[in-house]
Structure 1
Amino acid sequence: MKKSAIYFGILITCTSYPVVSRAQSSVTLYGVIDSGINYTNNVQKGKTATGFTGGHQVAMIEGGSAGLQGSRWGITGTEDLGAGMKAIFLLENGFYSNNGALNQGGAMFGRQAYAGIKSDVGTVTLGRQYDPVVDLFRPYLAAPQWGGYMSAHPGDLDNAQNTRRINNSIKLRSATWHGLTAEAILGLGGVAGSFAQNSIWGAGASYAAGPFSAGAAYLNVSNPNTSFFGANPNAGPATSNNLGSFGSATSPESNPVFAGYASASRMEITAAGVGLTLGALNANVAYSNTRFDNLGSSAGPNPLHYAGAAAFNNVEINLQYQITPSLLTGIAYDYTRNGGAGGKHGADYHLFSAGLDWFLSKRTDLYTIAVYEKASGIDSTGSQAVAQITGLTPSSTDRQLALRVGIRHKF
C-alpha cells in the first residue's frame, strides 16, 4: 500500500509493510542563554616595536565567551531499534546572545553535530564531537562548575574548556561498569595519500565510587594549526596562524600564551584530575601537560624560527561549597608554566578565581565571577609575557582583572 504525506513542504512517499512492533522515538529542543556585563581593567589596543598600546578599562555586555556557559540551542533525538539498541543524534548551535551572531567561526552547528548507535555496552557516534580531555578531565575544573570561561587555563591551552572540537570523528564510549567509564576518539584527517596527516586520536577513562572520583585523558593531534585550531569555518590554511596572532600597531594580540607555536607538527595533551565530595564541600585537584612538538615544520608559520618542542605544565586546585540548596560559591588557583621553545626563555601564569551562583529556579540563575591573572617571563611570541584571561583581549601589562555579573537561563 502506498502512502504520501507532506511535512514542512517536503513530499514524502513510502511503502508500508506489516511490522511486529512500532519503534519509539523522541526529539527534544533545548538551549542555554547566558548573558552578562563584563568589566576588564586593562586591554590592549595594539603592539608596536616599543611595547603595547592601550591599557584601557572596558565594560561591555558579553554573551558568548566569558559566561558560565556558551549560549546555544540544540536538537537531540533517539529511536528505539529494538534488542536494547537506539539510534541517536545531536545538532548543537552556538551563538552570541549580545548580538545574535554565530559562534564557532560561523558554523551552523559548530558546538556538536553527530549521529550514532547506543546500546547496553556503549555508544558509537560519528561527526563533530568533544574530545576525551573535555569529557573526562574537564569536570574537575572550576570553569564548568562555577567559574566559566574566564577561569579556564590561560588561552584554554589544553582545551579543557572545550574551545575546539574534532571534525570527521569516530567516538566510542563504554557504558559505566562498577563506576568505570572508558572513551576513545579518532578524527580522520581526510588528506589523500596520507592517513596520518591532520589526524587526531585520543582516549581516557573515569572512575567514581562514593565521594571519590577521578578522570584521565590523552589527546594526540597531527598538524594542530589546521586540524585542531583550524577546525572552524573561518580558519585559514597552513600558511595562516590559527592558534592566535602576534598583534600589530592597530590590533591586539590573540592567545600570546601559545600563538608562537603554530609550526608544531604535533600537539599532545595529557591530563588527570581527582575529586572528593564531603557533604556540601567539593574539592578537586587537576594537572595537565600540553606539548607542541617538532617546531619549525611546515604545519604553520614560524616567524621566530623556533625548533624543538615547547611544553606547558598546569596545576589547578579548586573548592566549591553549597551554602544552601539554591546558593553555591567557589574559589580556585591555577598555575601554568611554559618551559619555552627548545628550553629557551619561558613564562609563568598565576590565575585566581572566585564565584557565586544563585539559582532562582531549576532553569534560571544569577551569578558573579571575579578573576585575576599575573604573568611573568617571555611568552611564545618572544615578548614580555602579558596577562590573558581566557575569552578576553590580553592586557598590555603583566596583570589583568575581570569581573562579571550575569544571568543564565536553560530551556
Structure 2
Amino acid sequence: MKKKLAIAAAVAATFASASYAQSSVTLYGIVDAGFTYTTNVNNNAKYALTSGNVQTSRWGLRGVEDLGGGLKTIFTLESGFNVANGQQNGGLFNRQSYVGLTQDQYGTVTLGRQFDSMVDYIAPLTAVGTWGGTYMAHVIDNDNLNATFSLNNSIKYTSPNFAGFQFGGMYAFSNQSGFAINRAYSAGMSYANQGLRLAAAYMQINGVDSTGTGSVQGSSLASTFGAMASGNRQRTWGAGANYTYGPMVGGVVFTQSRLNGKFIDSVRYNNVEANFRYNLTPALGLGAMYAYTNANGAGIDSGTGSSSAHWNQFGLQADYALSKRTDVYLEGVGVWGAGQNAAGITQVGFQGNSDNANLPSNNFSSSKNQGIVTTGIRHRF
C-alpha cells in the first residue's frame, strides 16, 4: 500500500510540475526620464525633468498558459506612469488590460482594453511608433499613432502570419443601452517581404468622449475642440511603407483624421511623414523625420466659420546603447505653423501619453510655433 501511495504521489507531482512548466508570467517595463527644454509655453521657456521622452515609462505583467494542441491562454496588464513624480493618470492598467486565446493556425482573440489598428499597423512605420518616440507625434497626435488613448470594452482578432501578410480588426462596445453611443471599431493589415513592409488601417469612434464608461475617453483630436466635440464622430485612416537595407531603414506614411457630427460639420487633419534611421555602429543610431500637417474646418457652430492651418515638423535624434537594456539619447524637434486660429485648429504642443501623467495642457504652445530639446536615459527590463 505504501509503495502504491508513493507511486501515486510521484505521478501527481510530475503532472503538477509539467502543468506549472507550461504556464509563465513575465514582469516587463520601460523607465525613461531626462531633461527637457521647451519653447513658447505660456510665453516663456520651460525647463523640466520629464518622463517618457522617447517611450512612455511603463510596467506590466504578461502571461501565457499552454492548453495543448497549439492553443494558449494569454493576458497582458500594462500601466504607464511618470518617473519624475511616481504618479499615473487614469486607472491602474491604463495602457492595456486584456485576456484571450491564441492558436498558431487560427490567430488570436483578446478581450479588454487594447490599442486600435492605427497603433498596431501604421505606428510601426513612423518615427513616433519606433525610434523617435513621444515628441515626434503628429500635431496633437490627431491620428493616435502615439497611443494617446486605448479602446475600452473591446474584442480584437489578429490573424496568423500568412507568408508575410497579416490582418486584424476590433470592436469596442459602448456598454450603454443606446448601443451606438461611444462605440468604436478598427481594422488593419500589413505585408512584409524581406526588407519591404506595407500597411493600412482604419478606425472610427461614434460619440467621442460622450460617456464615462464608453469605448473612448481622451481622444486628442476631440479634446482640442472641447465641449463642441462631445458626441461627434471621429474617423482616422492611414497607409504607409518602409524599407530596411542593412543598417538603414526609411519610410513614408499618410494619415487622415476627421471629426464631424452635431456640433462640428467637418474638421480634417492630413498628415504626411518621411523618416530615416541609420545605425553608424551597433551601439550608435541616428534618426531624422519630417512631417507636414494640413488642417481644415468648416461649419463650426461657434461662429468661427471655415478655417485652415498647416504645420512643418522636423525631428533629429542620436541614440547610444550602453548595453542591451540601457541607452542614452539626445533629441530635438521643432514645429512651425501658419494659418488662421479658429476653434483650436492651430493649437500645437509636444505632449506625452495621457497615461504617464504628462498631460497635453502642460505643453501647448503660446504661439503657432514650438521647439523642444530633450536628453535622457532609458532602461528596459
Per the shorter chain, which TM-score range?
0.7 to 0.9
- 2:349 aligned partner: 388
Deviation at 1:398, TM superposition (A): 1.9
For 1:211 and 1:356, the matched residues in 2 are separated by 23
Is 1:315 the counterpart of 2:267 in the alignment? no
Of 58, 73, 81, 2:46 maps to 58
**Rounded Cα–Cα distance in structure 2 between residues aligned with 1:136 and 1:403:** 28
Match of 2:121 in 1: 136
Query: What does residue range 162-173 of structure 1 map to in structure 2 within 5 Å?
Result: 162-173=147-158
SS at match of 1:163: coil
Q: State the 1:273 CA deviation.
A: 1.1
By how many angstroms is 1:212 displaced? 0.6
CA 1:100/1:142 → structure 2, altered by over 3 Å: closer, same or farther? same
TM-score after normalising by structure 2 = 0.87
Who is 1:338 aligned against? Answer: 295
Q: Which residue of 2 aligns with 1:279?
A: 246
CA offsets, 1:218-259, max 9 Å, x none?
001111123699868xx6xxxxxx5579xxxxxxxx964x55
Partner of 1:69: 55
> Is 1:218 equivalent to 2:188 in the alignment?
no
Q: Gaps spanning 5+ residues in structure 2: where?
A: 1-11, 300-304, 353-361
State percent identity of aligned pairs.
38
1:84 aligns with one of 63, 66, 70: 70
The separation in 1 between residues aligned to 2:227 and 2:180, in whole angstroms, is 24
CA contact (8 A) 1:272 1:286 kept: yes
SS at match of 1:191: coil
Structure 1 residues 21 and 146: CA distance shift in structure 2, 3 A: closer
* Pairs within 5 Å for 1:246-325: 256=224, 258-259=225-226, 262-263=229-230, 265-296=232-263, 307-325=264-282
1:142 counterpart SS class: coil
Determine the structure 2 residue equivalent to 1:9: none
Matched letter for residue 388 of structure 1: G
The question of whether the paired residues in 2 share the 8 Å contact of 1:259 and 1:380 is answered with no
Corresponding residue for residue 207 of structure 1 = 191
Residue in structure 2 matched with residue 151 of structure 1 by the alignment: 136
Name the CA shift for 1:227/1:80 in 2 (closer, same or farther; >3 Å). Answer: farther
Mapped pair 1:365 → 2:327: yes
For residues 189 and 364 of structure 1, the distance between their equivalents in structure 2, rounded to whole angstroms, comes to 41
Aligned partner of residue 175 in structure 1, secondary structure? coil
Q: Mean Cα displacement is larger for which, 200-209 or 387-396?
A: 387-396
Q: CA deviation at 1:344?
A: 1.1
- The answer as to whether partners of 1:259 and 1:381 remain within 8 angstroms in 2 is no
User: Taking structure 1 as reference, are residues 380 and 362 closer, same or farther at Cα in structure 2, changes over 3 Å only?
Assistant: farther
- Letter of the aligned partner of 2:334 in structure 1? Y
162-171 or 264-273, which deviates more = 264-273
Cα deviation for residue 199 of structure 1 reads 1.1
Distance 1:37 1:178, change over 3 A: same
Matching residue of 2:37: 39
Report the equivalent of 2:109.
124
Moved more, 258-267 or 311-320: 258-267
Match of 2:9 in 1: none
1:141-200 Cα shifts (integer Å, max 9, x gaps): 1113222211100111110110100000000001101100111000011111x2222111
Check conservation: 1:260, 1:381, Cα contact below 8 A: no
SS in 2 for 1:110: coil
Partner residue, 1:348: 310
Seen in structure 2, the aligned counterparts of structure 1 residues 409 and 84 have a Cα distance that, compared at 3 Å, is: same
CA-to-aligned-CA distance 1:12-63 (integer Å, 9 cap, x gap):
xxxx99979943111111111000100012202xxxxxxxxxx111111001
Aligned equivalents of 2:333, 2:117: Cα separation in 1:
27
Distance (whole Å) between structure 2 residues aligned to residue 127 and residue 400 of structure 1: 37
Correspondence for 2:174 among 189, 195, 198:
189
- Give the letter aligned to residue 132 of structure 1: S
Q: Shift of the alpha carbon at 1:99?
A: 0.5
Give the root-mean-square deviation of aligned CA atoms: 2.5
SS in 1 for 2:140: helix
- Where does structure 1 lack aligned partners over 5 or more consecutive residues? 1-15, 45-54, 236-241, 246-253, 297-306
Q: Structure 1 residues 220, 243: CA separation in 2 closer, same or farther (over 3 Å shift)?
A: closer
Q: How many residues align?
A: 353
- 1:405 lines up with 2:362 in the alignment: no
Q: How much has 1:210 moved relative to structure 2?
A: 1.0
Are the equivalent residues in 2 in contact too, given 1:153–1:390 (CA < 8 A)? Answer: no
